[in-house]
Amino acid sequence: MPRYKLVIEYDGGPFCGWQRQVGNPSVQAAIEAAVTRFSGEDVRLTCAGRTDAGVHAIHQVAHLDLAKTWRTDTVRDALNAHLRPQPVAILSAGIVPATFDARRSAIRRHYRYRILNRRSPAALTRAQVWHVPWPLDPERMHEAAQRLVGLHDFSAFRAAECQANSPIRTLEQLDVAPAPMALHEEIVVAASARSFLHHQVRAMVGTLMLAGCGRLSADDVADILASGEKRRCGPLAPAAGLTFVGVDYESGK
């Protein structure tokens, strides 16, 4: 039984998130339905990172097993045909060893958060950014972000409904910088770790926003982290600004 690795792009706006939910449209259910229409098989996908409602992806990874061996370009093209007109695209499909697991084999996940920092709202990207109309200083945000990098108890940045066994995580990267195209007046937050807690990235971005407008210092952000108290955390940044941008595997699988 061959195992296929899919690389997936999607707009999270119309979905309740990646994970299948009864009565609600999900990315997982959309792709699984496309697999059934294409192959006649009922399958369950495993993904690298289960995104929340409204969160996007440009390089989500999932795996599935099929009884028949298909050409990989056939799998990609057939799934895309059956996914239309939903905003989900299979970028590639490949056959991988049975030991490959999209979630358990991952060694690092990458997210990007986009803040549109100008008085006027977005006309073209409103479903992909957080519009913050007051001035933000990305250097202050980056300085504060470095206080969160490393091995920490991230209870202060954890959703109440988070099901992780432990709030301890190692945040490998949290960089804040103006977008390369400054004309767009965007600030981009890049976060990387082996795994994240539920809402962790959005909670950190909301707190960094307060640092960017001068309401918190870098020391304040470090104190919030050390306190473990979610009530001290900044606002939860909207889901629309968050995108799952990649996942790393050992040996580059």
- Rounded CA gap, 204 and 225, in Å? 10
Classify each residue of 146-176 as buried b or exposed e, where b means 16 or more C-beta atoms within 10 Å of its C-beta. ebbbeebebbbbbbeebeeeebebebeebeb
Which member of 11, 52, 73, 137 is catalytic?
52
Active site residue 52: yes
The per-residue pLDDT string of the chain (253 residues; one tens digit each, 9 = 90 and over) reads: 899 999 999 999 999 999 999 989 999 999 999 999 999 999 999 999 999 999 999 999 999 999 999 999 999 999 999 999 999 999 999 999 999 999 999 999 999 999 999 999 999 999 999 999 999 999 999 999 999 999 999 999 999 888 788 999 999 999 999 987 655 699 999 999 999 999 999 999 999 999 999 999 999 999 999 999 999 999 999 999 999 999 999 875 5
Question: Global pTM?
Answer: 0.95
Which residues have CB under 8 Å from 71's CB, separation 6+? none
Which residues have CB under 8 Å from 145's CB, separation 6+? 174, 175, 176, 189, 204, 208, 221
> Does residue 85 have a cis bond before it (omega within 30 degrees)?
yes
> Which domains occur in the chain, in start order?
3-104 (3.30.70.580), 107-249 (3.30.70.660)
